Copies of this chain bind each other. A is one copy, B any other.
Amino acid sequence: MGKASIIVFSGDLDKAMAALTVATGAAASGMDVTLFFTFWGLNVIKKGGAWKGEGFMGKMFNFMARGGDAIGPSRLNMLGMGRWLMKRVMKKKNVKLPREMIADARELGVTFLACEMSMRVMGVRKEDLIPVDDIVGVATYVQEASKADIALFI
């Protein structure tokens, strides 16, 4: 039922969630899905790291602190709360967290590829990442994406 190929370039929670939502949605529809984690997107598949430590929420709080009154209320609603509160709200609203979405994607057979060049530039080693299917170069991405029915850069 077709093929989807998504570059996960961003390490931001909202974009990672969008990428994982499309990936799991496509896989659940029977598509053959590949995620290419590159640049900041490598943070999404780091063991612990940006997704578990203080760094991410620090960034969210920082964002809120400096742009609080300059951004819309719905944006504030989401950003103006601690990690635990956000977690609770997402559970209550029946929205999955990235870690759960990654597990779902895995179970649905989504292929996880990490970008070799980005890892070199950012100093990320294989052992820093959760298990991926392969570490590849741009040629592999191009080959995959050129056959894809949906090719996105997120």
A residues at B contact (CB < 8 Å): 1-2, 4, 7, 9, 11, 14-15, 18, 21-22, 24-26, 28-29, 31, 38-40, 42-43, 46, 49-50, 53, 55-56, 58-59, 61-62, 66-67, 69-75, 77-78, 90, 93-95, 117, 120-124, 137-139, 141-143, 145-154
Contacts and interface: CB of A to CB of B under 8 A. Distances in A.
Copies of this chain per assembly = 3
A150 B145 contact: yes
Contacts of A70: 55, 58-59, 61-62
Contacts of A117: 21, 95
A145 B138 CA distance: 20
**Dominant SS among interface residues on chain A:** helix
Contact of A153 (B77, B148, B152): B152
Contacts of A14: 9, 39-40
A39 B18 contact: yes
B77 A141 contact: no
B143 A29 contact: yes
Given A9-B18, A58-B70, A70-B58, A31 B121 contact: no
Contacts of A77: 122-123
